[in-house]
Structure 1
Amino acid sequence: MIRVGDFEITRIEEMVLAEPAATFAGFDAAALSQHRHWLVPDYFDEAANAFVTSIHVWLVKTPTLTILVDTGGGNDKQRPASPRFHQRQAPFLDKLAKAGVTPESVDMVILTHLHVDHVGWNTQLVDGRWQPTFPRAAYVMSKSEVACRDPKAGAADQPPALHQPFIDSVEPILEAGLARLVDGDETLAEGIDLMPVPGHAPGQMAVRLRSRGEEAVFIADVMHQPIQVPMPEINSKYCENQDLARATRARILAYAADTGAIILPGHFGRPYGGTVERDGAGKYRFRPLATMP
């Protein structure tokens, strides 16, 4: 756990994957050689030629609220287009319980964007139907994300397999009346606000915590791996708007360096977050957290 003023932050792990280096266009052996001393072994597995990729949920406790940032891949989901998340059976709720949180005690779920690995535990299969996992929570999600993922609207031209995360993990939340649709720049509670960070996904939002002069930002998939701090020009193949993803990454790196805010991404390996420093000539350096959240 880490503290940011009055906030407590804990990472709830769902799974750890190996992401091939080829996921990042422009990442080559020369880049690895230059950065091996800090990438290996926590962030890069040389034997597998792959980045260590964590799928996790961020748990935030305030004096009055219990909040989840994103909800991972989920169980029992049909994911033919994403086999790593297909029909999984993982003890995620047990891990949440060990952190002192029951589904009924969650007040808010903030979905940074609606990709398959960020919405799965929104729902669980109960008697053959998808039911909200966190029945008391307000599920905060981007209006533009909903519009572009809904197969009945903007996503109608996408392959049917890509519709499934929306159908089983977002639509039931909308139907239950638990969704809070936002523009992406709102204040959600004292010391908690949203920042628009589009590119990886059209309506992607960061979540900023500020308390007692300290700050942390859940930056979602603005960066998938810490190599993108010194090499912000490289994109994951999953970024939907490649040019905008680079521009947003540059903006967030500058913000983190200027403010000293802790950045807490969706997929970094251990210790899962850190700070950013300027390294001369427009470059940046990543400083991992001393302790793990």
Structure 2
Amino acid sequence: MNTESSENSRSRQSIVLGDVEITRVVEWQGPLGPTGTLVPEVGAEAWKENEDWLSPDHWEVGGDRAVLALQTWVLRSAGKVILVDTGVGNGRERPGSPLFHHREGNFLGELEGAAGVRPQDVDVVVNTHVHGDHVGWNTVAVEGGWVPAFPNAQYLVPAADDHHFGPDNAYGGGVREDDRLIYEDSIAPVHRAGQVVLWEGTHRIDEHLTLESAPGHTPGSSVVRLSSGADRAVFVGDLLHSPVQILHPACNSCFCLDPARAAASRRRVLERAADRNELLVPAHFGGTGAVEVRRQGQDFGLGAWAAHREVG
């Protein structure tokens, strides 16, 4: 891992892996909900035993609430600008998610300010899965309708999630009204614009980046693997919501649709991250947001956290 000078004159907090620059843009960060609700199979003692590093970036001790971030990873790779997940979005009807409902923020301004990226600069958008906090800025409201936020981008959407959350499978089986709303305002408009590419199994983004299916959290849940020079990383989406799950990989979040498959995918990804020295880059960790994984017997421990350095 090293730092390089960016071509953008605006300084930004980034890390560089091989020939890929990675910049984090945070849409929101703070205490989300009780730890026992977010990861119900992780006991209170696990949080207490690790309080020295879980607090305050990942755990609000006084309220016993997990601290999470909603964030997008901006990758500059092989001459392209790639976004990994797009957060919540503005002006959304999300009756089942009070934090996301009618949210108004300055994500596009932060994208330009923190990463030097304008909407027209984006070449590829990766949705690791079709949940409301990963696809929201796919679109923006224009004259009462939704249009792609990134007019020149190809949007990579897992085919299994597109089927499950789309009209073919009646918007997630009709379990949540939010699933229909998410698809209609954040996925369907990009389909109509002809910018969606559906994929399954694996999908090569460029010479450094590959998408790989990791089902369980959702049917099409996926990870992005980075390999450039001697450096390796894996963007794990919602396989993990809190770093406490690295220590307890069999424990799922309350949002996993298929718990057994989610746990199997999580263990497989953690095993490879530990064995191949892949930096683990999650969707929702606070703090510096990326961490090394180490083997500890049959399970895993945390190595060093990645420091974001100012470049440019």
Give 1:252's match in structure 2, choosing from 269, 273, 294.
Answer: 269
Query: Letter of the aligned partner of 2:305 in structure 1?
Result: L
3-state DSSP class of the match of 1:144? helix
Cα distance, 1:153 vs. partner? 3.3
2:307 paired with 1:291: yes
Partner of 1:20: 34
Partner of 1:74: 89
Give 2:112's match in structure 1, choosing from 97, 111, 116.
Answer: 97
Give 1:59's match in structure 2, choosing from 51, 74, 87.
Answer: 74
Q: 1:176, 1:288 → 2: CA distance?
A: 43
CA contact (8 A) 1:270 1:292 kept: no
Give 2:23's match in structure 1, choosing from 2, 10, 13.
Answer: 10
Deviations 1:196-234 (CA, angstroms, capped at 9, x unpaired)? 111111101101111112111111011111001111121
Cα distance, 1:47 vs. partner? 1.1
Deviations 1:180-199 (CA, angstroms, capped at 9, x unpaired)? 11114121111111111111
- Structure 2 unpaired stretches of 5+: 1-13
Q: 2:128, 2:81 → 1: CA distance?
A: 17
Q: 1:222, 1:87 → 2: CA distance?
A: 27
**TM-score normalised by length of structure 1:** 0.96
Partner of 2:44: 29
Structure 1 residues 161 and 230 mapped into 2: Cα distance closer, same or farther (>3 Å)?
Answer: closer
Give 2:126's match in structure 1, choosing from 110, 124, 135.
Answer: 110
3-state DSSP class of the match of 1:84? coil
Cα distance, 1:36 vs. partner? 1.4
Partner of 2:4: none
Q: 1:27, 1:231 → 2: CA distance?
A: 7
2:287 paired with 1:273: no
Partner of 2:186: 169
The more displaced of 28-37 and 178-187 is 28-37
Pairwise CA RMSD: 1.3
Cα distance, 1:17 vs. partner? 3.4
Q: 1:267, 1:144 → 2: CA distance?
A: 22
Q: 1:259, 1:75 → 2: CA distance?
A: 39
Q: Percent identity?
A: 36
Structure 1 residues 157 and 231 mapped into 2: Cα distance closer, same or farther (>3 Å)?
Answer: closer
Deviations 1:90-131 (CA, angstroms, capped at 9, x unpaired)? 011111111210000000001100001000000000111101
Give runs of aligned pairs for residues 124-135 of structure 1, distance below 5 A: 124-135=140-151
The more displaced of 98-107 and 182-191 is 182-191
Partner of 2:6: none
Deviations 1:253-286 (CA, angstroms, capped at 9, x unpaired)? 1000100000111101111111100112x02111
Q: 1:32, 1:186 → 2: CA distance?
A: 37
Cα distance, 1:166 vs. partner? 0.3
Structure 1 residues 81 and 88 mapped into 2: Cα distance closer, same or farther (>3 Å)?
Answer: same
Q: 1:252, 1:290 → 2: CA distance?
A: 18
Structure 1 residues 10 and 156 mapped into 2: Cα distance closer, same or farther (>3 Å)?
Answer: closer
Partner of 1:226: 243
3-state DSSP class of the match of 2:265? helix
Q: Give the paired residue count.
A: 292
Structure 1 residues 156 and 228 mapped into 2: Cα distance closer, same or farther (>3 Å)?
Answer: closer
CA contact (8 A) 2:78 2:208 kept: no
Query: Letter of the aligned partner of 1:43 in structure 2?
Result: H
Query: Letter of the aligned partner of 1:230 in structure 2?
Result: L
The more displaced of 3-12 and 25-34 is 25-34
Query: Letter of the aligned partner of 1:90 in structure 2?
Result: G
Query: Letter of the aligned partner of 2:107 in structure 1?
Result: F
CA contact (8 A) 1:71 1:117 kept: yes
Give runs of aligned pairs for residues 180-259 of structure 1, distance below 5 A: 180-259=197-276
Q: 1:72, 1:123 → 2: CA distance?
A: 11
**TM-score normalised by length of structure 2:** 0.91
Structure 1 residues 47 and 256 mapped into 2: Cα distance closer, same or farther (>3 Å)?
Answer: same
